[in-house]
Structure 1
Amino acid sequence: MHRALCPVETLYVGQRSRAFLSCTLRGRVDVEALSAAFDAVTEENPTLRSCIVPDGAGYALRLLGEDERPRLLTRTGDADEAYAAELNRTLPLGGPLTRAVLVSSPDGEGHLFVLLVDHAVTDGHSSIALHNALWDRYRALAGGERTAPAESAVRAEPRWPEPVSRLLPPADEADTAKYLDGRLEEVRRNPVELMPYDVPRPSAGGPDGDGAGDGHIEVCRLTMDKEHTDLLRRTARQSGVSVHSLIAAAMLTAARRRLDGDGPRTLGCLSPVDLRSRLSPPLPATDMVPAVTTHLQTLQVSGSSDPLDLARTVHNRLGDFIARGDQFHEMRITPEIPRNPALQLATVVVTNMGVVPGPRLPDGLRADDVRLAPAREQYFPQAGRSPLLACVVSFEGRLSIEFPHYTACFSPSFAAAFRDDVLDGLLAFASTAAPEHAPANPT
């Protein structure tokens, strides 16, 4: 049983990127119930029990046999070491498109749960929805409930989710071609500067240093407590911008500080744009497909640029882009990216998951932390420069930004200093929040 990948989904095959969700847990975990819950959600989602196979000039999803399906993996070990190991463990092409791992402390009270999903069949919203659905199923099973399989799990034929590129509103091919011509002219006139790697290109047989040699993926993390997250939201609201635009401005400012001189430089900001809520009818987050496009804008940023002015520019341009419906054109031209990579080339990439709920767990088990980060197989240290990526999400109202980087490109010390610079910028924004007005007639 096969389902062909559309041209947009096919792009992710070459990227070999994956969503990396994790949560740290305290309390006892019923491993049998968790294993059954993972089996149930993979049974309900055929893309999760599939592999990618060649299909003519493209690729297709093929259902795995019963003995090939992904199953929950369990072991005992250290949570930090397990996080680093799983972050760097790939989802090989031709193998299962998801992996679930539970790593427990020797006393059985501390755990790290990791869920990886290939980006060819997911995006941030659907991977978080899957993670929460798995724990919903676990909670029911651990509580002794018998849960009926979803309709999709009892069909004779799997219900493959429809590619988002086939759900877009109708468009004239001439309009799409005109939009593409305009985008190509824009990137030709405004080439953006990328961030030079701070790790020297490794020579053959050279010694490994701080990030030299073959390299590996690390994630540098920025977190804000609920109080400062609320202050940042208040600043955004009072300034008429989004939190996303404040983060983008802090990223652009931090990036500019790492370029020579003080005059204006052309920097690019790439913002992923969710399509699920903008389709008619809306696409549920539970549909396991990548349903995201991007908005690229270029800005002249100098050493003296006002970060709030940058935020207003980012916010207004992104809002105009969506109001025009250009997100649909952007999705239609996505297959052109391999021939014209500048269409998505930016100095900074700032995702925007918004505020999302964490997993609901049974009594006796709590989640101390939930994280979402992207990872991929190739980082191309030979390129000498690349965008800087920030994966932004607020679990349970607390802002978290993950900065994944490859140590043969950006050293851990570079990533930590950049993270600290962005945090300083966000705290400066938060400090400008005016007190909320008290009600005129308090009761």
Structure 2
Amino acid sequence: MHRVLCPVETLYVGQRSRAVLSCTLRGPVDVAALSAAFDAMTEANPPLRSRIAQDGAGHVLRLLGEDERPRLITRTGDDEDEAYAAELNRPLPVGGPLSRAVLVSAADGERHLFVLAVDHTVTDGHSSIALHNALWDRYRALVEGHPAAGASEDGAPRWPEPVSGLLPPADDAETAKYLDSRLEAVRRNPAELVPYDAATGEGAGAQGHIEVRRLTLEAETTSRLRRAARDAGVSVHALIAATLLATARRRLGGEGARTLGCLSPVDLRSRLSPPVPTAALVPAVTTHLQTVEVSEASEPLELARTVHGRLGDFLARGDHVHEMRITPEIPRNPALQLATVIVTNMGVVPGPRLPEGLRAADVRLAPAREHYFPQAGRSPVMACVVSFDGRLSIEFPHFTACFSPSFMRAFRDDVRAGLLSFATAADTRPAPATTG
């Protein structure tokens, strides 16, 4: 049994990227129940127990045999940090399962790391978070003895419909005109990229692996940053994007304005009719690329207003629909998505709900890829932004043969300082007057 991949989904086949959800746990874990919960998730979601197969000039999702489908992998005794690094670097190769679940437990049975990896061909950030939470909902139900959810009436797997098939009607000539305008814009204003430093840094000569530098803010500081955005009439996403742009500009050196690009993924689920459920395992995102002139003297708040306003105009015009339609052109014209910084935005999301006696000490979402290209000499800087239970977290994944750990630590620290300056400014503004 199979489902044909749409042109947009096929783009991810070549990119070989994956969402990596992880959860550090404290307390006892019923391994049998967790294994059964993962089996229930793969049974209810055929993409998780599928592989990518060639079908003529295109690709399909083909169900794996019973002996091939992914099962929970368990290990004991590994260091949590080392286990996370290993799973972050373990690919989901074409031809194999599109999901993997791993539980690494300490010898005392009270400390665990759970990692869920899902191929981006069949998911995006929102649906991978929903899947992770649904898995733990299922685990909680099993541990607490609640009845299982019923299977579909006919027992057949239900493939989610590709988002590209749910787009509203569009005139082909208008889409072609939009593509021409986008190509002309990137030709006239190409974004500068951040040069790699690993040729001379601690990654020099190494084969390279994926690492993640992480920035987290406590709930109180996150609230102050949200207040700063609200007071300025912009989104938190815009404040983060502006801070990243200013930080990237400092890495380029020289004087005067430089053309930098900001790529913002745009969630389509709520913008389609009918809306696509968050739990639907499909990549339901498009992107917005804008270029801005940034100098060493640029005010981050003004950059934020520019980013916020242009993204709002993009959505108001309905250009996100055209952008989704031209996605198949990206392999031929990669400049359509070439930016100085890539800033995702998952928003504020809940963490997993666990049974009594088990708690989540931390939850993370980071993207990873199978292929990196140190020979390119430069690339965008990626920032994966999500707030689990009100705490802002920004993950900076990087390949050590491109950007060295020390480079990304310094980049992360500069971004933290910029965000804290916004949050501090929110504290110094007078509170709005109350009436009544």
TM-score (norm 2): 0.98
5 Å-filtered alignment, 1:2-401, equals 2-76=2-76, 77-151=78-152, 155-200=154-199, 209-210=202-203, 212-401=205-394
Identical positions, percent: 76
1:161 counterpart letter in structure 2? P
- The total of aligned residue pairs comes to 433
Per the TM alignment, residue 439 of structure 1 is displaced from its structure 2 partner at its CA by 4.0
Q: Secondary structure at the match of 2:251?
A: coil
Per the TM alignment, residue 144 of structure 1 is displaced from its structure 2 partner at its CA by 1.5
Q: Distance in 1 between matches of 2:347 and 2:431?
A: 22
Q: Secondary structure at the match of 1:100?
A: strand
Q: Distance in 1 between matches of 2:42 and 2:403?
A: 36
Q: Secondary structure at the match of 1:177?
A: helix
Q: Secondary structure at the match of 2:185?
A: helix
Q: Deviations for 1:239-266, whole angstroms, at most 9, x for unmatched residues?
A: 0000000000000000000112120000
Aligned to 1:440: 435
Q: Which runs of structure 1 show a deviation greater than 4 angstroms over 4 or more consecutive aligned residues?
A: none
Aligned to 1:205: none
Q: Deviations for 1:140-168, whole angstroms, at most 9, x for unmatched residues?
A: 001122213342xx534321111101100
1:146 counterpart letter in structure 2? P
1:284 counterpart letter in structure 2? P
Q: Secondary structure at the match of 1:382?
A: helix
Q: Distance in 2 between matches of 1:131 and 1:162?
A: 21
CA contact (8 A) 1:273 1:292 kept: yes
Q: Deviations for 1:38-65, whole angstroms, at most 9, x for unmatched residues?
A: 0001100001110000011011000011
2:156 counterpart letter in structure 1? E
Q: Distance in 2 between matches of 1:372 and 1:435?
A: 36
Q: Secondary structure at the match of 1:47?
A: helix
CA contact (8 A) 2:27 2:109 kept: yes
Q: Deviations for 1:231-287, whole angstroms, at most 9, x for unmatched residues?
A: 100000000000000000000000000112120000000000000000000000110
Q: Distance in 2 between matches of 1:210 and 1:58?
A: 38
Distance 1:435 1:143, change over 3 A: farther
Q: Distance in 1 between matches of 2:262 and 2:58?
A: 31
Q: Secondary structure at the match of 2:276?
A: coil
Q: Distance in 2 between matches of 1:212 and 1:243?
A: 39
2:122 counterpart letter in structure 1? V
RMSD, matched Cα:
1.2
Q: Distance in 2 between matches of 1:217 and 1:30?
A: 31
Q: Distance in 2 between matches of 1:435 and 1:82?
A: 47
CA contact (8 A) 1:40 1:149 kept: no
Q: Deviations for 1:351-410, whole angstroms, at most 9, x for unmatched residues?
A: 000000000000000001000000001110010000000000000000000000000000
Per the TM alignment, residue 335 of structure 1 is displaced from its structure 2 partner at its CA by 0.3
Flag structure 2 segments of 5+ consecutive residues without an equivalent: none
